[in-house]
Structure 1
Amino acid sequence: MYKIIKKKKLNSTVEQMIIHAPHVSTKCEPGQFIILCTNENSERIPLTIQDYDREKGTVSIIYQVVGYSTQELSKKEEGDTIAHFAGPLGLESNIHKKKRVLGIGGGVGAAPLYPQIKKFKELGVECDVILGGRSEEFVILEEEFKGISDHVYCATNDGSKGTQGFVTDILKDLLQKGNIYDEVIAIGPLIMMKAVVDVTKPLDIKTMVSLNPIMIDGTGMCGCCRVTVDGKTKFACIDGPDFDGYNVDFDEAMKRQSMYKKEEAHICNLTGGVRQ
């Protein structure tokens, strides 16, 4: 059993938990994820690691309450326990000393972006961050990023916070103003990551993306996170979740992600929520 040390509601659908899991916290690195089961007979769900504290033996996760399993997790409170908490899983991010890095997080994509930017900053790298969301409510971890970044910019669809528009609008503006980045890290919805690559690739700016949004089983057995990278079949959970954005076939991934919308809607009607 793994004790919930702290629980925090970040907005109407997104929550953060700090879990006591020393075996994970002592080994995990930015980019990796865990698989948890809320109760003994619960569904296994993969969630990326948002932060960790090796001394306290804790791991922080952020999840969006969108269906049955995350609703079940959301019912847990501080002091309660989670049945299973396995990890770290996946490959760690390839983080090395650079001059300047730009991180772009869309919605809950800000969660796995945070430990990467944090580690870059520990190496003395200048870090800028762009956070996006439908509205101000859905821009998360802004204050946390301000504590580890040189500049933080926000974009919202409705203009309720920062620039009205998309994260790519700020990206284009920064580049047009002469800002130079050795690497861009984009994590969020597939369509957002594709849009970022469409901007950076013509300018030959190295761009890493995380395909954790398409993971289901987390072990490579279900095949749901299968994706074509540089013409080869890869699995986000065991070969990633980080990949060179230039080489990812986003069109294929987005098409596959929408293949079972009819079935998901049917399950939603039967259970009152989608599977995760």
Structure 2
Amino acid sequence: MYEIIGKQLLAPKIYSLDILAPRVAKSALPGQFVIVIVDDNGERIPLTICDSDKQKGTVNIVIQTSGASTKKLTDKEIGDTINDFVGPLGKPSEFIYEELENLKTQKILLVGGGVGVAPLLPQAKWLKERGVDVHIVTGSRNKEFIILEDRFREITQNLFIATDDGSYGFHGMVTHAIEELVNRGNHYDRCIAIGPMIMMKFTAMTTKKLNIPTVVSLNPIMIDGTGMCGACRVTVDKETKFACVDGPEFDGHLVDFDEALMRQSQYKEEEKEINHKHCRLTGGMF
């Protein structure tokens, strides 16, 4: 059992949970994820790691309530426990293995959308601690859904927030913000983009046009996290990969996003059925 020792509502239906998991906290690296199983009847939920504290033995995850399983998880309170918290899984971000002196000569653009902003935090922290220059672009529907702004401002003054409706920061999508930053004369040696699949697709299209090498995280299509179910198969440079064991990070300019988007929607009807069943049993609603 793993105890929840911290909980915070970040935005509507978006929660931050601190889980006491010393072994995971000790080994976690940027880019990796965990598998959470809430109870004996729970399904596997793959979640990217937002932060970790080796001294306290805690791992922070950010969850958006979107279905029956995530609702069970976010209904938990401080002091409650969850059955399983397995990780860290997946391959860490490639930049942690690069020659540091070479990395310090680069300017890296981190782009996050929705709850995909959360896993950018450990990457931004790791890079800042080693003196690497980063610019960060985050996007949300409106001001109400902006998360972790204060945490990112502790890392860099070069934080650019975009909202679809213009209620805060830059008015437009993250792709428009990227183009604006380049038009202002900024040069980026690489981009790391994490967020909804459709956002990563158009970010990759934009950076390809701007000749900025780009890495994306395909966590959104993962299910069991071990490669056995095959649900997270993705084509990268015409080769079949598994997001959970070969990734979750891949070259965004080589990912077949149309195929990945189709695969992501394959369980929509089953998810709707489970949600409706959950609502009937609990008398609640999502």
With structure 1 as the length reference, what TM-score do the two structures score? 0.95
Q: Which residue of 2 aligns with 1:32?
A: 32
Q: Which amino acid aligns with 2:179?
A: K
1:269 aligns with 2:246: no
Alignment of 1:107-186 (within 5 A): 107-186=114-193
Quote how far apart the aligned CAs of 1:149 are: 1.9
Q: Which amino acid aligns with 1:105?
A: G
Q: Output the CA distance in 2 between the equivalents of 1:160 and 1:67.
A: 28
Alignment of 1:224-263 (within 5 A): 224-263=231-270
Question: Once superposed, which parts of structure 1, at least 4 consecutive aligned residues long, lie more than 6 Å away?
Answer: none
Q: Which residue of 2 aligns with 1:45?
A: 45
Q: Which residue of 2 aligns with 1:65?
A: 65
Q: Which amino acid aligns with 1:110?
A: V
Q: Which amino acid aligns with 1:6?
A: G
Q: Which residue of 2 aligns with 1:2?
A: 2
Q: Does the 8 Å CA contact 1:103/1:129 hold for their aligned counterparts?
A: yes
Taking only aligned residues, the RMSD between alpha carbons, in angstroms, comes to 1.6
Q: How many residues align?
A: 274
Q: Does the 8 Å CA contact 1:127/1:150 hold for their aligned counterparts?
A: no
Q: Does the 8 Å CA contact 2:110/2:120 hold for their aligned counterparts?
A: yes
Quote how far apart the aligned CAs of 1:208 are: 0.6
1:54 aligns with 2:49: no
Q: Which residue of 2 aligns with 1:200?
A: 207
Q: Secondary structure of 1:272's match?
A: helix
Quote how far apart the aligned CAs of 1:31 are: 0.6
Quote how far apart the aligned CAs of 1:105 are: 0.5
Q: Does the 8 Å CA contact 2:68/2:274 hold for their aligned counterparts?
A: no
Q: Output the CA distance in 1 between the equivalents of 2:266 and 2:29.
A: 33
Q: Output the CA distance in 2 between the equivalents of 1:86 and 1:40.
A: 15
Q: Which amino acid aligns with 1:79?
A: G
Q: Does the 8 Å CA contact 2:220/2:264 hold for their aligned counterparts?
A: no
Quote how far apart the aligned CAs of 1:268 are: 3.1
Q: Which residue of 2 aligns with 1:86?
A: 86
Structure 1: stretches of 5+ with no match in the other structure: none
Q: Which residue of 1 aligns with 2:283?
A: none
Q: Output the CA distance in 2 between the equivalents of 1:14 and 1:252.
A: 28
Identical-residue share of aligned pairs (%): 54
Aligned in 2, Cα 1:32/1:251: closer, same or farther, shift over 3 Å? same
Q: Does the 8 Å CA contact 1:186/1:207 hold for their aligned counterparts?
A: yes
What do residues 45-74 of structure 1 show as CA deviations (whole Å, max 9, x unaligned)?
A: 111110001111110001111111111111
Q: Output the CA distance in 2 between the equivalents of 1:160 and 1:61.
A: 27
Aligned in 2, Cα 1:176/1:62: closer, same or farther, shift over 3 Å? same
Structure 2: stretches of 5+ with no match in the other structure: 281-286
Q: Which amino acid aligns with 1:127?
A: V
Q: Output the CA distance in 2 between the equivalents of 1:255 and 1:19.
A: 33
Q: Secondary structure of 2:94's match?
A: coil
Q: Which amino acid aligns with 1:249?
A: D
Quote how far apart the aligned CAs of 1:15 are: 0.2
Quote how far apart the aligned CAs of 1:262 are: 3.6
Quote how far apart the aligned CAs of 1:254 are: 1.1
With structure 2 as the length reference, what TM-score do the two structures score? 0.92
